[in-house]
Amino acid sequence: MYGKFLVEGEKMVLELLSSPLRVDTVFSTFPISLQAAHSATEFVRVSDNDLSKIATQSNPDKCLAVVNMPEPNPISDVHLLEQELFVVCDNIADPGNAGTIIRTADWFGISKVFFSLNSVDLYNPKTVAASKGSLFRVACIHTDIEQLLQSNSHLPVIGSFMHGENIYQAKLPDCGFIVIGNEANGIGSAIEKRVTHRITIPSFGKAESLNAGVATGILLSEFKRLQRV
């Protein structure tokens, strides 16, 4: 409604102040040396007690920032994408998973992560916290996934399923969309129809399934390993 979100914790706030995002106000229990470089940002010194009243975390860590949400990416940013790897999240519901996926994508050098319109709010405090600052670097875009894939039909679509070709034996493409499905229901039927490569992470134990963030890490690790060969 207000077009703003919270970033909490000293390390995250200091990292935020080095990013291109527009910071509205920083509430801190200690002086911040970066004030001079951020003339458009208001810095407010507060007590530990006051910080605990405005923070969402039960034990706030010295700082809290109110940040302006970035402008939505223009349509041109999701049409005719370059030939690289992208992560697509289809109806990811858990904010912690969303943040972990963004953080993992950042680790593996993924420039864009696309979220379906019915996925979790990217600026949920739990998503922001779980991203550990990667939300400030990776372009995270809420968009119509069907339209995205249709507009970029030149790129392969790799879907992660319980049953598919073993990722460790598959001949994987060098670029494309890696689709991660909903935690409970997997990839939706509409997106599944556009999948060109069905893969699976084989199980060696008895666990029912993998966490969406963990699965993203395994998939990206294998794709990047093969790209280095």
Express each pLDDT in 34-72 by its tens digit.
655 566 688 888 998 989 988 888 887 888 999 999 877
* pTM of the complete model: 0.89
Express each pLDDT in 84-137 by its tens digit.
999 999 999 999 999 999 999 999 999 999 999 999 999 999 999 999 999 999
Query: In this structure, which topology does domain 4-68 adopt according to CATH?
Result: 60s Ribosomal Protein L30; Chain: A; (3.30.1330)
The residue ranges of every structural domain in the chain are 4-68, 75-228
HEC profile of the chain: CCCEEEEECHHHHHHHCCCCCCEEEEEECCCCHHHHHCCCCEEEECCHHHHHHHCCCCCCCCEEEEEECCCCCCHHHCCCCCCCEEEEECCCCCHHHHHHHHHHHHHCCCCEEEEECCCCCCCCHHHHHHHCCHHHCCEEEEECHHHHHHHCCCCCEEEEEEEEEECCCCCCCCCEEEEECECCCECCHHHHCCCCEEEECCCCCCCCCCCHHHHHHHHHHHHHHHHHC
75-228 domain in CATH 3.10.105.10?
no
Express each pLDDT in 144-155 by its tens digit.
999 999 999 999
